């Protein structure tokens, strides 16, 4: 389900005219569609049928507290990677027993906070972290559930910055050392090994890496039983890729990797382990259902090149500058005029501050509004105050209404 469409040449989110929202609330402005998010959640849920599972939403994709409260209310769990995210998840009402905490660099106080919060599992990323966690758990006299994050050396064949499961990446413990880690953990009085975790990357668009990951983990769990260690869950991480190209058609599928195809195949593999399946989707849940609205400040021509300077920059949406990521850019008022190439650039004092280069767009004037599409994930969470710019406001659309879920920042 794609929730953005033109009605009488005006871009709408569900039944809300985005021009009216931008005129009232100002720009830059993030806008999310609730029905889009809920429909994607439903697709994930359906895919599991009645297989035991937990969907743990990855807060790093979007940690707006208004949105998190809705997800927690839907029975979803949380995947967090810092003490700050853990606090946000708890504040939003995610039950601790549905929270997984990964991250290569947890501080002692973050580990203590997670142990005291009695979360589902700390996903441990090194032997040293395992030993520190055991010592803190012993000091607190709290038996702590841990999962070991494996680095399975699997290539998702995606952007190098979004690849996390190759041996050259900093994440997880190599397979050759994982058995030793589990045996050590099982012998500790205050550790309880409950799961195995492997998140191999983000925006994965091929099914093969998923299948390979599931097979490697399942084989391992079965072998570990011979050591007398019975795990409860297998956590395959997040990473479902979204379509940054097709952003409008009603029949469009915002996900490039369909959970309803992939998840049954994964379950077919992991059911031999007898373990519950955990997934940690972030981008796929919210990415396609959010846009960043921005207004044209100035237009200019330089040696045949057209620049459109808008009021949103790399501090509001970093993905184009950081990953050279493509986001479709649409005028809020559709015009059938002849299109010409233009660079859509922000106001930040960096040449790398752009939202789209060489885009075919109709003539644009000062005051025109644009939507940067598919910006719901890794948009606001990567925003900063660079150039001392306040971060944008965020609104949530529900059918024909919207509400502000975060005020515009005041510096
Ligand atoms: C441990 C972990 N889980 C889940 C995710 C979410 O990935 P995605 O937003 O691609 O679904 C990430 C992001 O890289 C991650 O690092």
> Per the omega criterion (within 30 degrees of 0), is the bond before 306 cis?
no
> Would you say residue 411 lies in a domain?
no
pLDDT at site 303: 87
- Residue pair 163/323 in contact (Cβ under 8 Å)? The answer is no
Residue 181: its H or E element = helix 175-186
Say whether both 156 and 298 belong to one domain.
Answer: no
- Closest among 147, 239, 243, 156 to 194, alpha carbons compared: 147
Say whether both 277 and 307 belong to one domain.
Answer: no
Say whether both 102 and 215 belong to one domain.
Answer: yes
Which is the closest atom of ligand 1 to the Cα of 103?
Answer: 1
pLDDT mean by block of 10 residues, the chain; 411 residues: 88 97 98 95 95 98 98 98 98 98 97 98 97 98 98 82 82 93 98 96 90 96 96 97 80 80 97 97 96 98 93 98 95 91 97 96 96 97 98 97 98 94
Ligand 1 pocket test: pick from 79, 150, 243, 285 the residue with the most ligand atoms within 8 Å of its Cβ. Answer: 79
234 Cα–ligand 1 center, Å: 15
For residue 239 and ligand 1, the question of a CB distance below 6 A is answered with: yes
Say whether both 52 and 117 belong to one domain.
Answer: yes
Counted domains in the chain: 2
For residue 58 and ligand 1, the question of a CB distance below 6 A is answered with: yes
393 Cα–ligand 1 center, Å: 24
Say whether both 70 and 172 belong to one domain.
Answer: yes
249 Cα–ligand 1 center, Å: 27
280 Cα–ligand 1 center, Å: 6
pLDDT at site 250: 61
Between β-strands 393-398 and 401-406, what pairing exists: parallel, antiparallel or unpaired?
antiparallel
> Would you say residue 185 lies in a domain?
yes
Q: Whose CA is nearest to atom 5 of ligand 1?
A: 238
Say whether both 272 and 303 belong to one domain.
Answer: no
Say whether both 250 and 331 belong to one domain.
Answer: no
Say whether both 238 and 107 belong to one domain.
Answer: yes
| Cα–Cα distance measured from residue 71 to residue 69, given in angstroms and rounded to the nearest whole number | 5
170 Cα–ligand 1 center, Å: 15
Q: Which residues contact 390 (CB under 8 A, 6 or more apart)?
A: 408, 409, 410, 411
For residue 188 and ligand 1, the question of a CB distance below 6 A is answered with: no
Q: Which residues contact 147 (CB under 8 A, 6 or more apart)?
A: 100, 121, 122, 123, 124, 193, 194, 195, 196, 197, 233, 235
| Cα–Cα distance measured from residue 328 to residue 349, given in angstroms and rounded to the nearest whole number | 23
Ligand 1 pocket test: pick from 234, 238, 322, 376 the residue with the most ligand atoms within 8 Å of its Cβ. Answer: 238
CATH of residue 63: 3.20.20.10
pLDDT at site 252: 59
Say whether both 160 and 114 belong to one domain.
Answer: yes
pLDDT at site 169: 84
Domain limits for position 103: 34-287
Residue 348 dihedral angles phi and psi, to the nearest 5°: -75, 145
| CA 277-281-286 angle, 5° bins | 150
SS3 95: coil
81 Cα–ligand 1 center, Å: 9
pLDDT at site 227: 95
Q: Which residues contact 51 (CB under 8 A, 6 or more apart)?
A: 267, 271, 277
Which is the closest atom of ligand 1 to the Cα of 61?
Answer: 9
For residue 60 and ligand 1, the question of a CB distance below 6 A is answered with: yes
Ligand 1 pocket test: pick from 103, 165, 199 the residue with the most ligand atoms within 8 Å of its Cβ. Answer: 199
> Would you say residue 76 lies in a domain?
yes
pLDDT at site 53: 98
Say whether both 296 and 278 belong to one domain.
Answer: no
For residue 281 and ligand 1, the question of a CB distance below 6 A is answered with: yes
pLDDT at site 2: 67
For residue 344 and ligand 1, the question of a CB distance below 6 A is answered with: no
| Cα–Cα distance measured from residue 199 to residue 213, given in angstroms and rounded to the nearest whole number | 9
Catalytic positions are 349
């Amino acid at each position: 389900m794609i929730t953005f469409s033109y009605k009488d040449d005006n871009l709408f989110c569900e039944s809300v005219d985005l021009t009216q929202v931008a005129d009232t609330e100002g720009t830059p402005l993030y806008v999310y569609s609730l029905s889009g998010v809920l429909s994607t959640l439903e697709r994930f849920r359906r895919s599991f049928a009645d297989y035991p599972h937990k969907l743990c939403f990855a807060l790093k994709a979007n940690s707006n507290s208004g949105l998190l409260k809705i997800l927690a209310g839907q029975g979803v769990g949380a995947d967090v990677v810092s003490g700050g995210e853990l606090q946000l998840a708890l504040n939003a009402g995610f039950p601790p027993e549905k929270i997984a905490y990964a991250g290569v660099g947890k501080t002692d106080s973050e580990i203590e906070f997670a142990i005291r919060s009695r979360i589902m599992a700390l996903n441990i990323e090194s032997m040293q972290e395992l030993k520190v966690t055991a010592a803190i758990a012993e000091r607190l006299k709290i038996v702590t559930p841990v999962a070991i994050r494996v680095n399975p050396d699997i290539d998702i064949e995606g952007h190098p910055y979004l690849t996390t499961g190759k041996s050259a990446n900093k994440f997880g413990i190599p397979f050759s050392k994982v058995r030793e880690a589990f045996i050590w953990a099982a012998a500790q009085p205050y550790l309880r090994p409950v799961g195995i975790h492997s998140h191999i990357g983000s925006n994965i668009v091929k099914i093969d890496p998923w299948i390979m990951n599931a097979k490697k983990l399942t084989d391992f769990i079965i072998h570990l039983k011979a050591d007398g260690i019975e795990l409860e869950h297998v956590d395959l991480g997040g990473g479902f890729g979204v379509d940054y190209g097709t952003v409008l058609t009603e029949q469009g599928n915002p996900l490039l990797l369909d959970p309803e195809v992939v998840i049954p195949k994964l379950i077919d593999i992991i059911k031999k382990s007898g373990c519950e399946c955990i997934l940690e989707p972030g981008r796929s849940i919210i990415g396609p259902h959010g846009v960043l609205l921005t207004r044209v400040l100035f237009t200019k021509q330089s040696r045949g090149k057209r620049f459109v300077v808008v009021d949103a920059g790399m501090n509001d949406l970093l993905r184009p500058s950081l990953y050279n990521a493509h986001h479709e850019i649409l005028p809020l008022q559709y015009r059938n005029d002849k299109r010409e190439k233009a660079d859509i650039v922000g106001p930040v004092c960096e040449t790398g501050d752009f939202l789209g280069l060489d885009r075919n767009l109709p003539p644009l004037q000062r005051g025109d509004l644009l939507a940067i599409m598919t910006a719901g994930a890794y948009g606001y969470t990567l925003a900063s105050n660079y150039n001392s710019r306040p971060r944008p406001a965020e609104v949530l659309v529900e059918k024909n209404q919207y509400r502000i879920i975060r005020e515009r920042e005041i510096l």
